[in-house]
Amino acid sequence: MRHRGQIVLPRLALIAREFGGAYLTALPRILYHTTLGTLLSPRRTLRFHQNILDEAALWGADPVLGTKSFPEFLGAPASSPPDISIRGNFIDDPSGVMGSLRELSVLLCTIREVKAKRIFEIGTFVGWTTRLIAMNVDEGAEVFTLDLPQESVAHTVGERFHGSPEAAKIKQLAGDSLHFDFSSWYGGIDFCLVDASHEYECVAADTRNAFRMVRPGGVILWHDYRHSQWWSGVTRAVREASRRIGGGIFHVKGTAMAGCRVTEASKALMSR
């Protein structure tokens, strides 16, 4: 029979060996990217530091908004997430797909949770996310998606849902969200995804319009919110909106997303 001390010591030795190996492997890279790398390979060095910040942004607690998991950020009790469908050739062409499987799951589960019938996506790009949204809503649902006019961009807007079975649910809109007239959708949207330009002025305008469009009880999600990056236009605009409505917007744990359940009060405060 082995005593407790006999079990603990080998474990400590294993932990020390693994930590030491990882530390010794990482140390040269850390030293390079905090010294010579800033001059010799600035882009790689920026990406190195960005990866560290991304890890903190995904899993660390947001000191401003607070961090909640799905579906807690909706104000709902913890429960099993609804079933979702994710189909497509993402191996050969992953471009334009929202960051991670976890983020896609949060997006689609939120839409299912609120039983969204009318969805508005600000930022189509090639339309992978648009198609997945349409794949996970019921028959009769409408997915409105806005992107810059085709002649203004290099990518083919919405090409990933063109000719697909889901295309019948999707309405492509063209225009610059800074100047687009959203009034036809005021108060009539169940869910809005803000995922277009990351410039502060654009995100702030998109956020104001999202609050105008989404009905009380509906939900807004912002993509590319990273709370470790206080200088980011998305982060700045989302935090500003949270202060304006007195809270209620949260970082969603394990994602670069923030989410909010819209209320009458928050709509009124954002319209001032």
pLDDT at residue number 252: 96
Q: Residue 66: is its pLDDT beyond 90?
A: yes
Q: Which residue has the higher pLDDT, 209 or 51?
A: 209
Kindly report the length of the chain. Answer: 272
Q: Residue 47: is its pLDDT beyond 80?
A: no
Percent of the chain with pLDDT over 90: 64
- The pLDDT mean for the chain works out to 88
pLDDT at residue number 75: 84
Q: Residue 11: is its pLDDT beyond 70?
A: no
pLDDT at residue number 76: 78
Q: Which residue has the higher pLDDT, 174 or 99?
A: 174
118: nearest Cα among 56, 171, 177: 171
Query: Looking up tokens 């800033």, which residue turns up?
Result: 38
pLDDT at residue number 236: 96
pLDDT at residue number 8: 54
pLDDT tens digits, 114-156:
999 999 999 999 999 999 999 999 999 999 999 999 999 999 9
pLDDT tens digits, 175-193:
999 999 999 999 999 999 9
pLDDT at residue number 99: 72
221: nearest Cα among 120, 142, 138, 153: 120
Q: Which residue has the higher pLDDT, 87 or 166?
A: 166
234: nearest Cα among 99, 49, 143: 99
pLDDT tens digits, 71-101:
899 887 777 788 899 887 766 666 666 778 8
Confidence of residue 108 (pLDDT cuts 50, 70, 90): very high
pLDDT at residue number 230: 78
Residue 116 structure tokens: 């969204």
219: nearest Cα among 185, 269, 254, 258: 258
